[in-house]
Each structure stands twice: as structure tokens, then as C-alpha cells.
Amino acid sequence: MLIDAIRAVAASTSHTLFVALPDDGETAFSQSLSGVGIAGIDYFKYRSARNTTWLLFRNIGYGLLFGLPQLKRYCKTNKIDVLYINSSVNVIGILLAQQLKIPYIWHIHEHSAAAYRWTPAWMDKYYRKWLFDCRCLSIFVSHTSRAQWGKNIKETAIPQSAVIYSKYTEIPKVSRKSPTHPFTFGFLGTLTQNKNVDTLIRAFRQQKGDVRLLVGGRGERRKKLMKQARDIPGITFTGFIPDRYSFYDRIDVLVVPSFNESWGLVALESMSAGIPVIMTKNTGLVELFTNGEECLFVDPFDVNDLSKAMTRLRENQAFYNHMVNRAHFRLDALALNQAFDQKIIAVIHQSIK
């Protein structure tokens, strides 16, 4: 998402663009910006945060001690007029904008909710203060996510906010006339508690016949999940997936059982590849797709609900094909990637006025 926003701004405005990254940032990120019109990419001593409470506080503490003073000098030296801040965990970016007293665009692509809460409730008063700052223009990835933020901070509306659906990687359609044998389910994502792979493993255990489950990705719960699955035939943990097309080409159905998904990039990728999706109902994609038409939405807490959805797609070839065709048609109609750049630029221009 951050890369897409940077490219959009660099290509469509005449303003000078600087990118500041944490010093533990992946080299692949800066490499992906090669050839983009950026005045400078610089690294600072603050840490990338993840959607867990302790990593959020690590990010804040480390940034306050080591990153914030250098970032402040950097912004003043380069005469930064507007800050674009990526994700709700980038609290250092918010504190930087507050100290500099300059406008900031806060692009929030995750949220804490009752199903899985990773930000402590006492922080909501600070989030409310920042979101209601007259210098803040906030962007949410779905109306669902914005509504959840409003619920958390006890407000019915968030001023100066927009909803911009994120881009996704369009995967070439898998060439397949019928499901693979054995029928293969797949998961692709970071193996964290919120992704709820535990429930997927339990639902897979209920499947009858010759079936497989590919679990793609890395994360802190990988060892625990492998231990949970060690006595269940047919489950393979693939580790990091460098080539997403090859992963989708190996599966028949993608399962996204997360407790919360403010959006759902892998689900969109899978649909574009012609692979049906079973997805948590706690997602922003409920705004765009219809249950039983383009995908199946399930209760992430209900193992039986997920297992029934898996069985339905595995045993009903006509329904399987219907979902593939409907999802492809719907993605074409939505044209999400084309709309993203235009809307991001509009918000940038609004912040500069």
C-alpha cells in the first residue's frame, strides 16, 4: 500500500518527495522504488511495528529515544510541508507531525476490534485526539474499518476522513479446467494470532477424503501451528512464498479465516487468479462482495461454519465454477487499481491547500 501511494504521488504531482524508512526496513522495499521520482530515501533509528501490543510499544519507545530527534531535523532541513504517515502503528510519524505543527495524511489500514484487540483501550483517547486534529486528513481502507475506529473512540463520525480501497496485485488467471487432485486448500499470510490459522487447521481436520492444506507464510506462531497440525495428514507449511502465482497455481480454494481484516489483499489476488475464496465475515470486503456469489463469508469463531464452506466448494463443481466467474466479473467492474491513484492524489492536493 505504501509503495502504491508513493508511486502515485511521484508520478502525478510536481512536489518534491522524500521517503523516510526504519533502519530495519527490508532492502526489497527501497529496490521496488527504483526509477520512481523521489528526492531521497533515508533510514532512521526507529522500528517497524506490527499489529501486536508489545511491538507497538517497542516502536514507540525506540522511536522516542532514537528516531524522533533525527526525523525532526531531517524534516526541517528538507523543508517538509506535509507528512504522509502509513498505518495506525506509526505513532512516531504522528508525534513528528505534532511537533512540527504541519499537516499530515494518516493512511490507516488496520483496526482493533472486539474479535481481536491489539491496541489497549486507554490509547483510544490519543487516537481520537490525533484523528480530530485539524491538521489531520485520515484515509481508511474500508467503510467497515472507519466505522470500527469510530466505535473505538466513541464517535459516530471522523472528520476530514476518506475511504480509499487499496490496490491489489493482479495475478494471471490459473489455467485449470477442474480442481487439482487431491483437492487443495490454501492459506497465505503472516502467521500471527489474528490470522486464526488454528481454526483453519481444526476445520481441515473435519474434511473427509483425499484433501490437502498448504499454509504459506512466516510468523511467530509457526512452530505452535506446526505442532498442532503434526498428527493431521495432508498439511504442509511452505514458509515464505516469493512467487505468489506459483502458490495460487497449487491450490483450489484460498481460506482467509482472520478474526479481523480491514481489507483483504490476498483474497483479491486469489479472485483475480480464478481461485475461489472463503473469508472471515469481519472484513471490509463485505462492502464489495456478496456471500454465496463472489465468495463465501464465514464466522471466524465457528469451526463448523468454516468446515461446511470448505466442503461445499469441494463437493459442488457447479457452485465452484459459479464463484470463479462471478468474482472475475465483479473485480473487472470495480476497477479498484485504476481508482486508487486518482483518489490518493486528490487527498494529497487537499492537504496542501
Ranges 113-117, 163-167, 346-350, most confident: 163-167
Rounded to whole angstroms, the Cα distance separating 162 from 146 reads: 9
| 192, 51 contact by CB (below 8 A) | yes
pLDDT in the model for residue 309: 98
Asked if residue 24 has pLDDT above 90, the reply is no
| 19, 39 contact by CB (below 8 A) | no
pLDDT in the model for residue 329: 96
Rounded to whole angstroms, the Cα distance separating 46 from 294 reads: 41
Beta-bridge partner residues of 212:
184
Buried b (16+ CB within 10 A) or exposed e, 246-282: ebbbbbbbbbbbbbbbbbbbbbbbbbbbbbbbbbbbb
Asked if residue 335 has pLDDT above 60, the reply is yes
Digit-coded pLDDT (tens) for 215-258: 999 998 999 999 999 999 999 999 999 899 999 999 999 999 99
Asked if residue 324 has pLDDT above 80, the reply is yes
Burial of 124 (0-12, 13-18, 19+ CB in 10 A): middle
| Cβ neighbours for 223, distance < 8 A, ≥ 6 positions apart | none
Burial of 71 (0-12, 13-18, 19+ CB in 10 A): buried
Rounded to whole angstroms, the Cα distance separating 342 from 106 reads: 17
Query: What mean pLDDT do residues 78-95 have?
Result: 89
Digit-coded pLDDT (tens) for 133-191: 999 999 999 999 999 999 999 999 999 999 999 999 999 998 766 667 799 999 999 99
Q: Which of 24-28, 152-156, 285-289 has the lowest mean pLDDT?
A: 24-28
pTM for this model (two decimals) = 0.91
| 324, 274 contact by CB (below 8 A) | yes
Asked if residue 336 has pLDDT above 70, the reply is yes
Rounded to whole angstroms, the Cα distance separating 298 from 312 reads: 12
Asked if residue 347 has pLDDT above 60, the reply is yes
Asked if residue 59 has pLDDT above 80, the reply is no
Digit-coded pLDDT (tens) for 116-125: 887 888 889 9
pLDDT in the model for residue 38: 87
**Signed CA dihedral, 127, 129, 135, 138: sign only:** positive
Q: Which of 167-181, 214-228, 274-288, 320-334 has the lowest mean pLDDT?
A: 167-181
More confident residue, 37 or 280: 280
| Cβ neighbours for 321, distance < 8 A, ≥ 6 positions apart | none
Rounded to whole angstroms, the Cα distance separating 85 from 82 reads: 10
Domains, the chain, with CATH or none: 2-163 (3.40.50.2000), 183-334 (3.40.50.2000)
